[in-house]
Structure 1
Amino acid sequence: MLRFVTRQAATRKLLAATAVGALGLSLAACGGDDKAPAFVAAGGKQGAATPQPTAPPVPFEFSVTPADKKKDLPVSTEIGTNVKGGSITSVKLVDKAGKAVGGAMRDDNTSWVPGAPLKYDTDYTATVVATSTGGQAETKKISFSTRGKSGNDVGSGLYLFNGKTYGVAMPVVVEFTPGIAEKDRAAVEKRLFVKTDPPQPGVWSWVSTGTQAYYRAPDYWRPGTTITVRAALEGIPLSNGRVGDQDRKASAKIGDKFEMKVDNKTKKMQVLKNDKLVKTFPVSLGKPSTPSSSGTLIVMDKQEHTVFDTFAELGPEEGYRTDIDFAQRLTWGGEFIHSAPWSVADQGVRNVSHGCVNLAPDNASWLFGQTKVGDPITIKGTERKAEPGNGWTAWNQTWAQFVKGSALPVPANLRPATTSAAATPTPTATD
C-alpha cells in the first residue's frame, strides 16, 4: 500500500454526473359489506339484523404550498400538497412564458417535485386539482418567484457514470465539500432519489463527517439491475448560508456477481463468479507495521498502468517512486490490489507490502480483466479493521448498523428485526 494519492485528486478522477428517480402517485380506497346477518336475540328469538356501525366519512380538506405570491424561493422548491378525504388529481407548473415544467409526486404524496431545477429569478404558477372520495373536484392556483443564483455553493459529486456497468456491491455515493452539517442532512437526503429495476428498496446512510452519503439495499444488487439516480441538490438552502451546487443524474447497470475473498491465515485469494469458485491465488498483504485493512471493501477505480509516488508523504529518506501495473483502488488511504513481481516469492508465505494486496503479474493481469468498479473484496484476519469512510465502506457494516446512519426515518419494511449483527445476511469480514 502506498498512501500517495490525495483524496481530492482521486475524487476528481471518480466524479461523475447522475439520474432521475421516479416518484409515484399512490391512490387508496376502502369499502365494506352493507349486509349484516340475522341474529338470535336474548331469550332465543330470532330478530332483525342490527346495522353495523360505520366510520363517518373524512371531511374533504385540501391545501398547497408555497403560499400564494411568495417571493425569493429556492430553485429546489416543491409544490407541497395536503389532502384529507381525497387525493391529488393533477399538478401543473408553468413559468412566466407559459412553458410547462415536468415533474412527479413523491411516493408519500406529500409534494410534487419538478423534474429539473427551476430557473433563477423567475415567476411560476402552479395549478393543483384534488378530488374527494365522493367525486368532488377542487382547484387551487398559486404563484411564486424564485431567488437569484448564490455564489456560496456546496460542492457535490456523484460516483456513478451514466451508461456504465458496475459490480453488485456498488453503492450510490454522493460526496459533499464541505461536509453537510448533521442538522441539514435530512433536508438533503430528501432530495436524493434512487430507483432500481427490478425494485430493491434501500436506505441512505451518512459517514460521520457528512462528506459522503451511501445508498444500498439490505443485500447486494441483483445482476442485471438498472439503478437510476437523481441528486436534486441545485439551490437547496443549508443552515450555514450555502446552497447545493447542481443537479446530478445517472443511470447504470449491475453486471455479474464477482467477489474476492482474502484470508490472512492462508494468504490466499479466492475468486468467485456468480457464487462459484473460479480461481485461487497466493497473495502477500501488508506487513505488521503497515497492515492491510480487514473488512468488506469495494473496487473504486482501475488503472492498468500508474505510478506510486510516496515522496510527498514520506519524505526523501523513506519515500519512493514505483511503476505499478493492474492497480485497483480499495481505500482513499492508498490500499490497492496490484501486480507485485518483487514479492512473488513471498506471496502465499508472508506479508511484505505497505497494505496492498500483492499478486503475481499474470494473476494480477487476469484479475484486472475480470473485475468491475463496484466488485467487493472481503479481507479477514489482519491487524487492522477497515476505517468507516476510508473507501466506499457501505458494505463493511451489518444492515442494522448501516440504517442508523440515515437522517430520515427508515421505512418499516426496511427496519432490521434486531440490532444484532445476525439480523442481516450482508457478508461482513471478521478479524
Structure 2
Amino acid sequence: MALSGCGDKKSGTTAAWASPDASSSALPGASSSASGGSITESADAPITLSVTPAAGKKDVPVSAEIGVSLTGAKVTAVSLKDSAGKVVGGELRDDGTSWVPASTLKAKTAYAATVTATTSSGLTKTATTTFTTMGAPAKKTGTGLYLFDNRTYGVAMPVVVEFSPGIKKADRAAVEKRMFVETSPAQPGVWSWTSSGTQAYYRAKEHWQTGTTLKVRIAVGGLPTGGGRYGDRDRGATAKIGRDLEMKVDNATKKMTVTQDGKVVRTALVSLGRKSKPSVSGNMVVMDKLADTVFDTTDTDGAAGYQTKIQYAQRVTWSGQYVHSAPWSVGSQGRTNVSHGCVNVSPSNAKWLFDNTLIGDPITVTGTGVKLAYGDGWTPWNVSWAEFLKGSALPVPDSLK
C-alpha cells in the first residue's frame, strides 16, 4: 500500500507501512527516478522521470525520501541500499511524489537508489542516484508520543504528539507529512495543531470503534523542523481501542452517569469546584491514572496552598483537574460544590471508576459556566469537526470534510 500523510485511504486502512523486502520494495502501479543519475529505457516511450536527492548530493538529512517526478508510467519497483549493500525497506506515498524509507537513515552514510517505472504496454525506464547523509545536527527538536505498544485505550484516545520547542506554522506542513497513522478497521482521520505548535492531535470524525488497532509512526528523526533544528528521533506504537465507556457529569444534578456500550452501568454523586475554583465544562479525556498521589499547590498558591494525599486520581486537564476520591466531601456530594476544581466522588465510587476506566476514556462536564480551554489536556473532542480541521497544516481531502 502507499503512504498518505493525512490518512485518507481508498483501500480500507489509513497510511500503512510495508515490510522490508529482500532486495526492493515492489510497488504495483507507481513510479520514480533519479535526477543527475543514470537512466536506461527498454524502448522509446513518452516517459519523463526525475528523482531526488540529486546524484552526488552530500549532507542530506537522514529523514530523506526518494522524491519522484514522473509522467507516462508508474513506479513498479524502488530499491535503496547503503554502502554496505544493506537494503532499506519503504513505501511510496499515495500521490506518488516520493518513496519513504521505513526507518531513519544512518548518519554520514552513502546510499544508492534505483527506481523502475513501467508503462501500461510494458515499456520500462530505470533511474539511479547516489547521495550521502549528514552528521548529527547541533540542534534538535524534542518529541514525545502519548501512545505505547500493546496498550489498550478508551474510544476517545487521540494520537498526541509533543514537540519542544513548538513547531512554527511555516514548518508544520513538512512535519505533518511525516506523521503516519494506520487504523484497522479503517477510520480516516486528520492531524490538527495547537496554536503554540507544541502538540498535534490525530482523531477521526467520531470516536474510535471498539476493537480498532492504531498503528502510528512519527517519522521525524532527522527531519528539518525549522530554525536550524532537526527532529530527535522516530517514534511509533501499535495499540488497541477497548470497550466504549463514557462518563458524563452534570453540575445541575451533581451526578455522574457512566455508560458502557450505550448502557448505564454506574451513577455517582459528585461535588465540583467551588465558586472561587470552578470546574471547567467541556469534552475531556482521561490522561493519567494514579492510585496514590499527593496534590501539592504550595508552589503556585503559597500560604494558601495545600498538600493532600489523594487516592484513585484520574487527570483530565493539564491545569490540574482530576476525578478522584474525596472522603471529606461525601456529605456535600450531590448537593454542593466544595472542591478546588476537581470532580470529587466517594471512595467506593472512585475505586470503581479507577478499576474500570482506561486512559483515553471520554468524560464530559456540563453546566459549570467555565469553558475548557483548547490545549488544556487532550482536547480535540472539545471542538466541532469543522473547527478541528482548521488546525491541519495540510489540505484536508474532501472526503473527510
Scaled by the length of structure 1, the TM-score of the pair is 0.83
Counterparts of 1:301 and 1:23 in 2: how far apart (Å)? 30
Counterparts of 1:146 and 1:62 in 2: how far apart (Å)? 23
Q: Does the Cα contact within 8 Å between 2:29 and 2:76 map onto a contact in 1? A: no
Counterparts of 2:179 and 2:213 in 1: how far apart (Å)? 17
Q: Deviations over 1:296-337 (max 9, x none)?
A: 00000000111111111111x211110000000001100000
Aligned length: 366
Whether 1:130 aligns to 2:125 is no
Letter in 1 for 2:132: S
Q: Does the Cα contact within 8 Å between 1:86 and 1:133 map onto a contact in 2? A: yes
Alignment correspondent of 2:374: 388
Q: Deviations over 1:356-386 (max 9, x none)?
A: 0000000111111000000000111112100
Identity percentage over the alignment? 58
Q: Deviations over 1:195-218 (max 9, x none)?
A: 001111000000000000000000
Q: Does the Cα contact within 8 Å between 1:311 and 1:320 map onto a contact in 2? A: yes
Out of 320, 325, 329, the residue aligned to residue 311 of structure 2 is: 325
Alignment correspondent of 1:379: 365
Alignment correspondent of 2:56: 69
Alignment correspondent of 1:116: 103
Whether 1:107 aligns to 2:94 is yes
Whether 1:22 aligns to 2:16 is yes
Q: Does the Cα contact within 8 Å between 1:26 and 1:107 map onto a contact in 2? A: no
Alignment correspondent of 2:323: 337
Q: Deviations over 1:256-285 (max 9, x none)?
A: 000000111111100000111111111001
Counterparts of 2:163 and 2:15 in 1: how far apart (Å)? 20
Please give the secondary structure, in 2, of the residue aligned with 1:130: strand
Counterparts of 1:274 and 1:311 in 2: how far apart (Å)? 41
Out of 355, 361, 368, the residue aligned to residue 347 of structure 2 is: 361
Counterparts of 1:213 and 1:238 in 2: how far apart (Å)? 14
Counterparts of 2:297 and 2:135 in 1: how far apart (Å)? 45
Letter in 1 for 2:16: A
Alignment correspondent of 2:236: 249
Q: Does the Cα contact within 8 Å between 2:53 and 2:131 map onto a contact in 1? A: yes
Rate the CA distance shift 1:26–1:205 in 2: closer, same or farther, 3 A: farther
Counterparts of 2:224 and 2:72 in 1: how far apart (Å)? 33
**Shift >4 Å, 4+ stretches:** 23-26
Counterparts of 1:160 and 1:286 in 2: how far apart (Å)? 30
Q: Does the Cα contact within 8 Å between 1:202 and 1:414 map onto a contact in 2? A: yes
Alignment correspondent of 1:15: none
Please give the secondary structure, in 1, of the residue aligned with 2:224: coil
Q: Does the Cα contact within 8 Å between 1:286 and 1:357 map onto a contact in 2? A: yes
Letter in 2 for 1:22: A
Aligned Cα root-mean-square deviation (Å): 1.4
Please give the secondary structure, in 1, of the residue aligned with 2:281: strand
Alignment correspondent of 2:164: 177
Q: Does the Cα contact within 8 Å between 1:21 and 1:230 map onto a contact in 2? A: no
Please give the secondary structure, in 2, of the residue aligned with 1:395: helix
Q: Which runs of 5+ in 2 are unaligned?
A: 1-13, 19-26, 31-44
Whether 1:267 aligns to 2:254 is yes
Scaled by the length of structure 2, the TM-score of the pair is 0.89
Rate the CA distance shift 1:301–1:26 in 2: closer, same or farther, 3 A: farther
Rate the CA distance shift 1:248–1:184 in 2: closer, same or farther, 3 A: same
Letter in 2 for 1:190: K
Letter in 2 for 1:373: I
Q: Which runs of 5+ in 1 are unaligned?
A: 1-19, 29-57, 416-431
Letter in 2 for 1:140: A
Whether 1:303 aligns to 2:308 is no
Alignment correspondent of 1:139: 126
Which structure has the larger Rg over C-alpha atoms? 1
Letter in 2 for 1:347: Q
Out of 177, 200, 215, the residue aligned to residue 213 of structure 1 is: 200
Out of 54, 65, 71, the residue aligned to residue 78 of structure 1 is: 65
Q: Does the Cα contact within 8 Å between 1:326 and 1:368 map onto a contact in 2? A: yes
Q: Does the Cα contact within 8 Å between 2:192 and 2:392 map onto a contact in 1? A: yes
Counterparts of 2:172 and 2:337 in 1: how far apart (Å)? 42
Counterparts of 1:357 and 1:225 in 2: how far apart (Å)? 30
Counterparts of 2:300 and 2:110 in 1: how far apart (Å)? 53
Out of 414, 418, 421, the residue aligned to residue 400 of structure 2 is: 414
- How far residue 289 of structure 1 moved from its aligned partner, in angstroms, is 1.3
Q: Does the Cα contact within 8 Å between 1:21 and 1:229 map onto a contact in 2? A: no
Q: Does the Cα contact within 8 Å between 2:249 and 2:257 map onto a contact in 1? A: yes
Please give the secondary structure, in 1, of the residue aligned with 2:182: strand
- How far residue 27 of structure 1 moved from its aligned partner, in angstroms, is 3.6
Alignment correspondent of 1:6: none
